[in-house]
Structure 1
C-alpha cells in the first residue's frame, strides 16, 4: 500500500525521536496532540511509515518548529509556498515554552512535591533560557537544557530556608496518589530524578545518564535501587509499566499551570535590568569608597606609640625616722654654710 509523503522535508527517523524527547513528550502525549494513534507515532519515528494527510502536515510542523537555526555564513533559503516562515527568537521561545512548560511543570512537581515551587522552577529555567537564547537555540536539545535547569532549581537545598516553604503543602486528594508521592519524595534526590526521567519522561538510559551527569552504569544502579525502594513502600509499583502509568496519572491530576510566554520573557528581562543596575550601583559604590580612602589616607608613615610600661627596680619609699648623731652634725654643718654654697676660688692678678 502506497503512502503519500509530506511535501515538507522531514529529519531522519532518529532525529524525529530526539526532537520529540527534547520537548519532554512521550509518544502517547504527542499522539493525543496530533489526533493519531500511538503506534502511528512509533511508525513515523522508526521510518516504517511516512507522515501523510493533515496529521502528517501537523507532525511536520511540530518537528520544524524547533529546527536548529542556520549559521551566519549559510545562505538563507528562499521562502517556499506552503512552508512556514522562519521564526523570530521570541516566536521560537514562545513555541518552546508552549510545548514544554505544561508537561515540565507536572514533571517537576513529581520531584519536589510542591505545586508553586514546580511552577516557579520552570519559569526560572525559561527565564535563564531567554537570557541565553542564542546558546539554547543552537543546543541539540533545547528542552533538555531547560528541563535540567528546572530540575536543579526544584531540588535546590536552599528552598528549605524560605519561610513560605517551611510547611508542607496539602497532599493529593486520592489516597493512592498520596502513597505514590510520599514514596517518591522519600527517595534521595539523585534516585528520584533518575526515576522521573526514565519512567516518567520516557528517556532511555544513556540520555538519563547524560542529563543526570552520571555514567550509564551509575544511572542504571540508581534506577534499580529507586524501583526497589518504590516497590518496598508500594508493592504494586513493582510493575514498571504500572509505575509509568501511575506517575503520568499523578502529574496529570494536579492543576498545575504555567504563566504565559510573554509574561515569562518580560519578567526575565526585568530581572536582567534589575541585576544590571544593581551591579552598576555596587561598582560605583566600590569606586567611590576607594577614591575616598585614597584621598583621606595619610601620605607618610607614623610609627605607633608604644604602650606604657611600669618602671621596675624603684626602691620603696620609707618613712622618716629619728636622725643619728652623725646626721645631726651634718645637718648643722650644712645650715651653717652660706646659702650660695661654699667659698669660690677667684683668680688674683699678678
Structure 2
C-alpha cells in the first residue's frame, strides 16, 4: 500500500506573507482550516508543523491565496475582523533593515502608508471602546501615527510596529487632561442598539487600567504576557485586572459571562460604528506641519532667550556695589519727643504774652548809615 506524500508547505515567513497579502487575520485562517488561532501562530513562527488533513487544508489555502494575490497589493481588512489585528498579523508588514518581503524596495512613505492602511481602521474602533467618543478615537489614532512618522526609522525597525502605534494611541486616548477640553465636556450620542449602549456604559464605568486590559485581551486578542507588557504591569497584575473587569461586565450583563461571547460582542460593537480614519497622506502632512511648528517655536524661544541674555549683559552694572547695611539702634540717646497739646495754663500764658507789653529795654532797630 503506497502512502500519499505530504503536501509541500512554504517556509514560515512565506506563510505569514501570503496571509498578509490576502488581508487575512490568523483567526480567519484558523476558522477555515479548523484549528485555533494559537495553532496558526505556531505554524507561522515555525514552532510546529501541521500534519494529516490539516496540513492538506492549510497547504491548499496557501496555494489559493498565492494564486489570487499574484501581482496584487494587500487590501484593507474588513470591518468585522478589524478589531482582531494582533502583533503577529503585522510584524511582517514592515521589512527589517529596509528590505520588504517582496522583491522590490519600499520607500518610507509607502511603508508608513501600508502600516496605516492595515492598522488604522482597527485602532480607531479599539480606541472607541476605550473612550466612547468617536472624534477622540480618530484624533488619538491620527496623533499616534503622527508620532510614528516623526520617529519612523525607530518604528520601522521595531519588533512590533503595530503595537508601538497602538500603545501610543491608547495613552493619548486615556489621558486625563481631555476632561479640561471644552469639546469633550459634553457626552456624545450613544449607540442606537440598546445592548450596545449597555455594553459601552459598562466599559466606560471600568477603571482605565481594567478597561485597557479587557480590550487588549478579549477585544484585540493578545496573550496575557503581551497584554501585561503593553499595560506596563506584571502578568499576575494583568490577570487580576482582567478577572475584575470580566466580573464587572458579567454582573451588569450576565449574557457576556462567556469570554468568547464577550469577544464577539466587542467586535460587533466596534464594527457597528462607522468610524473612518483620515488618509495616510493627510496624517503624514499633519505630522510634518506639527514638527515644523514646534521647530519654529523652539527657534523663536531660543532667539528670545538669547536676546534677553544680551539685554541683561548690556544693562547690568560693570562693578560690584555692596549693599547698604541695615540700620542699628544707638544706646544712650533719649528718644526724640514730639510736642504735645498745650495745657490750659500754657494757653493762658501764651495769650498774656501776646496781649501785654513786657518791661525791658526797647528793641534795637538796625538803621542804614
Mapped to 2, the partners of 1:217 and 1:176 lie a distance apart of 31
Q: 1:102 to 1:41 in 2, by over 3 A?
A: farther
1:314 aligned to which of 324, 327, 337: 337
1:72-151 maps to which residues of 2 (within 5 A)? 83-151=102-170
Mapped to 2, the partners of 1:196 and 1:212 lie a distance apart of 11
Aligned twin of 2:184? 165
1:166-315 maps to which residues of 2 (within 5 A)? 166-300=185-319, 301=321, 303=323, 312-314=335-337
Aligned twin of 1:69? 96
* 1:276-323 Cα distance to aligned partner (Å, 9 max, x none): 00110011011111211221223342746979x9x9332536557759
Mapped to 1, the partners of 2:91 and 2:263 lie a distance apart of 29
Aligned twin of 1:37? 32
* 1:210-255 Cα distance to aligned partner (Å, 9 max, x none): 0000000000000000000001111111111110000000000101
TM-score by length of 2: 0.73
Mapped to 1, the partners of 2:230 and 2:203 lie a distance apart of 19
Q: Does the Cα contact within 8 Å between 2:26 and 2:40 map onto a contact in 1?
A: no
Aligned twin of 1:326? none
Aligned twin of 1:348? none
* 1:25-69 Cα distance to aligned partner (Å, 9 max, x none): 8533x549xxx8263784643321465324147599887853442
**Local SS of the residue matching 1:11:** helix
Matched, 1:55 2:51: no
Across the two proteins, how many residue pairs are aligned to each other?
309
Aligned twin of 2:13? 11
Mapped to 2, the partners of 1:63 and 1:40 lie a distance apart of 21
Q: 1:104 to 1:216 in 2, by over 3 A?
A: same
Q: 1:270 to 1:180 in 2, by over 3 A?
A: same
Q: 1:170 to 1:64 in 2, by over 3 A?
A: closer
Q: 1:154 to 1:187 in 2, by over 3 A?
A: same
**Local SS of the residue matching 1:171:** coil
Aligned twin of 1:347? none
CA positional deviation for 1:4: 3.9
Q: Which runs of 5+ in 2 are unaligned?
A: 44-49, 75-88, 351-357
Mapped to 1, the partners of 2:338 and 2:312 lie a distance apart of 51
TM-score by length of 1: 0.77
Aligned twin of 1:27? 26
Q: Does the Cα contact within 8 Å between 2:227 and 2:238 map onto a contact in 1?
A: yes
